Chains A and B, each alone.
Chain A
Amino acid sequence: MVIMVNGKQIEWEENLTIKSLLKKMNYTFPKIVVRVNGKVVEQKKWAEFKVPDQAEVQAHHLIAGG
């Protein structure tokens, strides 16, 4: 009952959406590219996309500083 988010083990929960996962991780940055098991999930689908158990999630913040 765990998922990997950016290489770190996170507890999975029922009906975990990408939106709620990012909130849980406190990922507030406006430009994040999310891949679930290697596939990009568009931002407009984050509220309904359910993250499956055992998923590998990459939440890449596209920021390279000033």
Chain B
Amino acid sequence: MSVLIEKMRSSRKVLAAYHYVPALIERGYAGKTLYIDLTNKNIESKDVTRQMKDIFVGGKGFGLWYLWNAVTPDTKWNDPENEIIISPGPIAGITQYPGSGKSLLVTLSPLTDSVMDSNVGGFFGPYLKFSGWDALEIQGKADKDVVVFIDGDNGRVTIEEVDLDPSASHLLSEQLTELMAETEHDKKNISVVSTGSGAEHTRVGMLNFSFYDLRRKVARLKQAGRGGIGTVFRDKKLAALVVRFSGLSGKSNNPADPAAIARTGVKITREINKFDDTQFRMRQIGTANLMTPMNDYDLLPVHNFKYGSHKDAAGISSEVLRSRFTQKMPDGCWVGCALSCCKAVDNFVPKTGPFKGKKVTVDGPEYENAAGLGSNCGIFDADYVIEANFYCDTYGLDTISTGTIIAFIMECFENDILNETITGGLKLNFGNAEAAMELIHQMGQGRGFGKVAGQGVRRMKKIFAEEYGGDPAFLQDIGMENKGLEYSQYQAKESLAQQGGYALANKGPQHDEAWLIFMDMVNNQLPTFEKKAEALHYFPMFRTWFGLQGLCKLPWNDIIPESNAIADSPEKIPEHVQNYVDLFNAVTGKNIDKDEMIRQSERVYNFQRVFNLRMGFGTREHDAAPYRALGPVTEEEYESRQDRYDKQLKEDVGINPEGMSTDAKVAAMRKYRQGRYETLIDVVYKRRGWNENGVPTLGHLENLGIDFPEVVEVVKKHL
């Protein structure tokens, strides 16, 4: 390593440098944004305005505002005008409350051609802010690979050429950490943003944000996975972003009321210590704790979302994955996170690919990795899941999209739309781990059929229909994407509310807006369209708020306080909602309540909807869902849950299924379910203050205070 690092060190060539006095953080804000134009190597400081803080708050809000001002309706994801904005938000960086180190990223997506946001842990966001910047705004394209180094200790930003290999993100993170740290101890003060070769060859490139693990002595990685932000990053010839900040303390955010933050933090940390082992075991298993219950409740995606459970699911159960995690102690991606859901498999030895036979540290697997790469592809082998997880991470491939892409390809292969001639010899049947792994390598290295797979499900549907004779209607039914983004890994067929939670989401079907399956399907708390619509208003708005602040959502509902047993709306976890109101007020010195909290989100959420409109999307037709997300597409699916579906036909639809062919029953069920989905959309739009085409009304925008002339101009065209 040291020879390599010395070589990298001697190759450093500064192309542009900017010296600054780091702004003092005041009540969660630095008050400045770092703007970098890679084309002209221009580095500037911008003021964060009062209006930005009042309307957009921070995080995703800042990202959307900067991107709105940077692009036009004609801008494409790979135009130099497109930006990547990274912003942590005002609460981000506190160390007393769990889950307070998130960064939010915004860009135009190569998958959706519209606005994308993604959130990620790791140290970069807080260190960026404490280096004096509320946001990093990157525009333009370099002509050669560059590294941007933000030295918050010395007030210096540089754009540099460095002799490096950007193909493997885990190595690049290690190397740049070593290169930029002044001592071994200084490594914890470094955070690297990077991706791998997969981001150059696919539209599903993601970004790894590092945090240095002093116990393991490795740079660990968290992923900004969704929507191809890594692809944009490499298109700009960015090899990496590096931040260095060494002055972290419990008061770095300079909050208005540190005692209130400490009180709130102590309260929830006690809850976690008391209850986590008997609730979700986030400290032991992380989000992989969901694998077993999802299978038990028929919600684990299996075979491209055909089914919700599988007889072999025990092979990748929560306990099996737990047994593979090493260094069995709490492990967080930001300082002070008592929930500590990060998990890793140390000394893992891949059996394939460029790291075959070498020991590596794998971050994860998390639930989405195991469900997407594993069960959804019919692969129930923990070793495969861990290796696929590792390679997706180091190639810079979004595990969620990759899982859904491979599952879609497998179903097409089994339906003879694809064959070995097309796939270059890969027998991509469900369950073929060897072929799936090779496909991941091909995606990561830009080879063979991987080049097609890397285009994503939406573009593959078109290719498979036009070039391979696939039935476009069938491909549309089974291609699990909406707005161009691949579905995340929950089976939503039996929850109408979650069907809306997915397909009505601003960026596409990611569950971070709403996850209502249990409330709807199991608890039956949303029996009417109006109740579903209310949930599809409240939860997306509430969850948006985390993205404005730089917060992780997990400490909200993956630990349940005692008070919840007698709470009026236990699904909202009212005590924790109040914690967040208290935290915001304690950091910023403002005085919001839980209603204003929702309004903060509504402003940004509706602005994002209008931004979609501006880019040529954002209307009802773009909220349509593939039928696989709503109900059984094939006779095989129907017959696998025949009792359930027959009962629904009889009791809910009013059709006696006796004597009907399966084909006829599938058709009757489809008509019923699609009708209900359309009704749901009507009711949700109304609740959200939108017209029947999904366009926010002018009155609603005015009420929210975002009726800026340029916003009104966009909306008027659709009214």
Asked if A40 and B297 make an inter-chain contact with CB atoms under 8 angstroms apart, the answer reads no
B522-548 toward A: CB 8 Å interface, digit per residue (1/0)? 111101000000000001000000000
**A11 to nearest B CB, angstroms?**
15
Closest 3 CB pairs of A and B: A65-B515, A7-B524, A6-B524
Please report the C-alpha to C-alpha distance between residue A39 and residue B290 in the assembled complex, in whole angstroms. Answer: 28
Asked if A64 and B571 make an inter-chain contact with CB atoms under 8 angstroms apart, the answer reads yes
CB-CB under 8 A for A65 and B517, given A8-B524, A31-B279, A31-B560: yes
Asked if A6 and B523 make an inter-chain contact with CB atoms under 8 angstroms apart, the answer reads yes
Asked if A30 and B278 make an inter-chain contact with CB atoms under 8 angstroms apart, the answer reads yes
Which A residues lie at the B interface, using CB under 8 A? Answer: 6-8, 26-31, 33, 40, 42, 58-66
Please report the C-alpha to C-alpha distance between residue A3 and residue B518 in the assembled complex, in whole angstroms. Answer: 20
Q: Of A6, A30, A42, A66, which is within 8 A of B522 by CB?
A: A6
Asked if B524 and A64 make an inter-chain contact with CB atoms under 8 angstroms apart, the answer reads no
Q: Which of B117-125, B137-145, B407-415, B562-570 contacts A (4 or more CB under 8 A)?
A: B562-570
Q: Of B523, B527, B539, B573, which is within 8 A of A60 by CB?
A: B523
Asked if A66 and B367 make an inter-chain contact with CB atoms under 8 angstroms apart, the answer reads yes
Asked if B571 and A66 make an inter-chain contact with CB atoms under 8 angstroms apart, the answer reads no
Given contacts A31-B279, A62-B571, 19 further A-B contacts (CB under 8 A): A6-B522, A6-B524, A7-B527, A26-B296, A28-B293, A28-B297, A30-B293, A31-B560, A40-B565, A62-B564, A63-B557, A64-B515, A64-B518, A64-B556, A65-B515, A65-B518, A66-B367, A66-B368, A66-B488
Q: A42 — which chain B residues lie within 8 A by C-beta?
A: 565
Residue in B closest to A59 when the chains form the complex, CB atoms: B523
B291-305 toward A: CB 8 Å interface, digit per residue (1/0)? 011001100000000
Q: Does B511 contact A (CB under 8 A)?
A: yes
Q: B292 — which chain A residues lie within 8 A by C-beta?
A: 28
Asked if B296 and A62 make an inter-chain contact with CB atoms under 8 angstroms apart, the answer reads no
Please report the C-alpha to C-alpha distance between residue A66 and residue B372 in the assembled complex, in whole angstroms. Answer: 13
Majority SS at the chain A contact face = loop
**A59 to nearest B CB, angstroms?**
7
CB-CB under 8 A for A33 and B524, given A64-B557, A66-B515: no
Asked if A60 and B279 make an inter-chain contact with CB atoms under 8 angstroms apart, the answer reads no
Asked if A30 and B524 make an inter-chain contact with CB atoms under 8 angstroms apart, the answer reads no
**B402 to nearest A CB, angstroms?**
17
Please report the C-alpha to C-alpha distance between residue A29 and residue B279 in the assembled complex, in whole angstroms. Answer: 9
**A66 to nearest B CB, angstroms?**
5
Residue in B closest to A34 when the chains form the complex, CB atoms: B565
Asked if B511 and A31 make an inter-chain contact with CB atoms under 8 angstroms apart, the answer reads no
Residue in A closest to B275 when the chains form the complex, CB atoms: A31
Please report the C-alpha to C-alpha distance between residue A26 and residue B308 in the assembled complex, in whole angstroms. Answer: 15
Q: B556 — which chain A residues lie within 8 A by C-beta?
A: 64
**A55 to nearest B CB, angstroms?**
16
Q: B296 — which chain A residues lie within 8 A by C-beta?
A: 26, 28-29
Please report the C-alpha to C-alpha distance between residue A28 and residue B299 in the assembled complex, in whole angstroms. Answer: 13
Asked if B287 and A40 make an inter-chain contact with CB atoms under 8 angstroms apart, the answer reads no
Please report the C-alpha to C-alpha distance between residue A42 and residue B278 in the assembled complex, in whole angstroms. Answer: 14
Please report the C-alpha to C-alpha distance between residue A40 and residue B511 in the assembled complex, in whole angstroms. Answer: 30
Please report the C-alpha to C-alpha distance between residue A61 and residue B516 in the assembled complex, in whole angstroms. Answer: 11
Q: Does B490 contact A (CB under 8 A)?
A: yes
Q: Of B511, B524, B570, which is within 8 A of A65 by CB?
A: B511
CB-CB under 8 A for A66 and B511, given A28-B293, A28-B296: yes
Q: Does B280 contact A (CB under 8 A)?
A: yes
Asked if B525 and A60 make an inter-chain contact with CB atoms under 8 angstroms apart, the answer reads yes
Please report the C-alpha to C-alpha distance between residue A30 and residue B595 in the assembled complex, in whole angstroms. Answer: 31
Asked if A61 and B518 make an inter-chain contact with CB atoms under 8 angstroms apart, the answer reads yes
Residue in A closest to B289 when the chains form the complex, CB atoms: A30
Q: A28 — which chain B residues lie within 8 A by C-beta?
A: 292-293, 296-297
Residue in A closest to B366 when the chains form the complex, CB atoms: A66
Q: B564 — which chain A residues lie within 8 A by C-beta?
A: 33, 62
Asked if A33 and B570 make an inter-chain contact with CB atoms under 8 angstroms apart, the answer reads yes
B324-361 toward A: CB 8 Å interface, digit per residue (1/0)? 00000000000000000000000000000000000000
Of the listed residues A8, A40, A59, A65, the one surrounded by the most CB atoms of chain B closer than 10 A to its CB is A65
Please report the C-alpha to C-alpha distance between residue A27 and residue B518 in the assembled complex, in whole angstroms. Answer: 11
11 CB-based A-B contacts, threshold 8 Å: A26-B297, A29-B297, A30-B278, A30-B280, A58-B523, A60-B525, A61-B522, A62-B557, A63-B293, A63-B557, A64-B539
Of the listed residues A28, A42, A58, A63, the one surrounded by the most CB atoms of chain B closer than 10 A to its CB is A63
Please report the C-alpha to C-alpha distance between residue A60 and residue B527 in the assembled complex, in whole angstroms. Answer: 14
Q: Of B488, B516, B523, B566, which is within 8 A of A40 by CB?
A: B566
**B368 to nearest A CB, angstroms?**
7
